[in-house]
């Protein structure tokens, strides 16, 4: 049995929870919406406030010590991010979040490289931020007389990508495939390494790691992708922080999409893509969030999330009328990444979400940012409630959710 499969009993998770002021300030609140945004630990909140209270200065523009220190701290955050995903600092671009990172891939790479008739493979059941940048690029290029084709692939009922769709959709004109690492509604590991083998080395992979960055170890050497995007606010850092990692082979394939003032060295990736004053406290908060995660250990976080997902499934699976979305609830797989979505025969998800809110239980309903309209290629997915967990959640909270759900649908 690999070490990561051994349940970890040594961590006192109540001490971890105590580091999140949200729970002290909202006694009794049950927060099951961490896939949307995580709560922030004290150490991250302190990093932001320290910057504004003590260090506030712009980066890379002035020669006084405070400003050069700020520049150095940004570069130290870049090194921390690179170490965290097993990449190099020179390949890290700070953005405002995953949406900006994913749009940057589509525009900075797509505008420069795509030719008439080229194809991009996209899954329409992925998050809109992973899908729409490609639809937008298609429309932009069409205005200039270029036609690119978006080739869709699906997700099967167990929650993974339909690999046969990917095999069948590939063609000599396929230039890039857009994937997510863990799905934001179905919560599954989307088999990126297998897909790399299927598409071969020449097709670029843009990977959206928004739902895996705080749930599992990311190792760029193993993933073999070309672009990696994620948001800081889903990994305990501040809103407005995000990362785009660009593989060395793509470094010279990009064009500037928001030219302006900057502080980075000429001819660097950062000079090309990071113009304008960065969101400095948000960038610094990334380093604190990484320190927080590394102190706990990603392996331990992963094990804890597997345990919590399993507990959630066990507690709710026999509630009368429950239907699980594709993913952990249907696949019978051993590992879950903290996301479980479901609906009920006898009650609408929006009514249930309101009723749960009245009980101080926060979880997500609605369209989950999936593309719904048919002209955008979306399907008619049922509406699900999504419970998304993080390390500050407890077994007691899960039991309470199950009890309240039984009462509401009973």
Where do contacts with ligand PLP occur on this chain (CB under 6 A)? 36, 97-99, 127, 129-130, 180, 184, 208, 210-211, 231, 233, 369
Q: For ligand PLP, which is the closer residue by CB, 70 or 211? A: 211
φ/ψ (deg, to 5) at 122: -140, 145
For the CB of residue 233, give the shortest distance to ligand PLP in the complex, in Å: 6
Nearer of residues 130 and 214 to ligand PLP, judged by Cβ: 130
Strands 385-388 and 204-208: unpaired
Task: Return phi, psi of residue 257, to 5°.
Answer: -120, -10
Beta bridge partners of 161: 155
> For ligand PLP, which is the closer residue by CB, 37 or 256?
37
Q: Tokens in use for 224? A: 């073999």
Least CB distance to ligand PLP at residue 239 (A)? 8
User: Least distance (Å) from ligand PLP to the CB of residue 357?
Assistant: 19
Cα separation of 356 and 338, whole Å? 19
Q: Can you list the pairs that 9-15 forms with residues at least 24 positions away whose Cβ atoms lie under 8 Å?
A: 11/296, 11/300, 11/304, 13/304, 13/391, 13/392, 13/394, 14/394
Which residue, 71 or 279, is less far from ligand PLP as judged by CB? 279
Interatomic CA distance for residues 362 and 348, integer angstroms: 16
Least spacing, CB of residue 210 vs ligand PLP, in Å: 4
In the complex, least distance from residue 396 CB atom to ligand PLP, rounded to whole angstroms: 27
Number of residues assigned to the chain: 410
| H/E element, 230 | strand 227-231
Closer CB to ligand PLP, 98 or 108, in the complex: 98
Comparing CB distances to ligand PLP, the nearer of 363 and 404 is 363
Shortest reach from residue 348's CB to ligand PLP, in Å: 22
Please state the separation of Cα 318 from the chain's center in Å. 30
- Which residue number, 127 or 215, has a Cβ lying nearer to ligand PLP? 127
To the nearest whole angstrom, how small is the minimum distance from the Cβ of residue 333 to ligand PLP?
A: 19
Q: What is the residue-wise DSSP string for 278-305?
A: --HHHHHHHHHHHHHHHHH-HHHHHHHH
What does the block give as tokens for 63?
């020669």
CB of 260 to ligand PLP, least distance (A): 21
Contacts of 213 (CB under 8 A, 6+ apart): 230, 231, 234, 235
Cβ nearer to ligand PLP, comparing 130 with 166 = 130
3-state secondary structure at position 149: strand
Closest to 304 in 3D by CA, of 216, 213, 242, 400: 216
């Amino acid at each position: 049995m690999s070490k990561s499969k051994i349940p970890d009993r040594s961590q006192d998770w109540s001490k971890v929870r105590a580091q999140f002021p949200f729970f002290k300030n909202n006694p009794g609140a049950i927060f099951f919406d961490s896939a949307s945004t995580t709560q922030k630990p004290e150490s991250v909140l302190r990093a932001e406030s320290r910057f504004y209270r003590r260090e506030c200065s712009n980066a890379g523009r002035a020669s006084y010590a405070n400003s050069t220190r700020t520049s150095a701290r940004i570069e130290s955050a870049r090194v921390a991010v690179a170490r965290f995903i097993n990449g190099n600092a020179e390949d890290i671009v700070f953005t405002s979040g995953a949406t900006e990172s994913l749009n940057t891939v589509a525009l900075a790479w797509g505008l420069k490289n795509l030719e008439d008739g080229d194809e991009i493979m996209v899954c329409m059941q992925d998050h809109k931020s992973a899908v729409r940048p490609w639809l937008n690029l298609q429309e932009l290029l069409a205005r200039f007389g270029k036609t690119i084709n978006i080739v869709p692939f699906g997700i099967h009922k167990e929650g993974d990508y339909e690999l046969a769709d990917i095999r069948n959709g590939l063609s000599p004109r396929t230039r890039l495939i857009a994937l997510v690492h863990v799905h934001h509604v179905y919560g599954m590991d989307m088999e990126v390494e297998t897909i790399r083998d299927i598409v071969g080395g020449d097709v670029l992979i843009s990977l959206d790691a928004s739902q895996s960055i705080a749930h599992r170890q990311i190792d760029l050497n193993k993933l073999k992708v070309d672009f990696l995007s994620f948001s800081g606010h889903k990994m305990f850092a501040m809103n407005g922080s995000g990362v785009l990692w660009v593989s060395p082979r793509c470094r010279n394939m990009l064009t500037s999409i928001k030219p302006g003032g900057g502080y980075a060295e000429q001819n660097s990736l950062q000079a090309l893509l990071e113009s304008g004053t960065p969101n400095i406290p948000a960038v610094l908060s990334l380093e604190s969030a990484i320190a927080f995660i590394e102190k706990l250990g990603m392996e331990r976080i992963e094990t804890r999330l597997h345990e919590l997902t399993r507990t959630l499934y066990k507690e709710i699976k026999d509630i009368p009328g429950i239907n699980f979305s594709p993913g952990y609830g249907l696949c019978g797989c051993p590992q879950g990444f903290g996301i479980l979505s479901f609906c009920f025969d006898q009650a609408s998800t929006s009514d249930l979400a309101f009723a749960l809110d009245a009980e101080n239980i926060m979880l997500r309903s609605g369209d989950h940012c999936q593309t719904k309209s048919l002209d955008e290629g979306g399907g008619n997915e049922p509406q699900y409630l999504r419970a998304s967990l993080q390390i500050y959640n407890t077994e007691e909270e899960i039991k309470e959710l199950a009890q309240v759900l039984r009462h509401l649908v009973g």
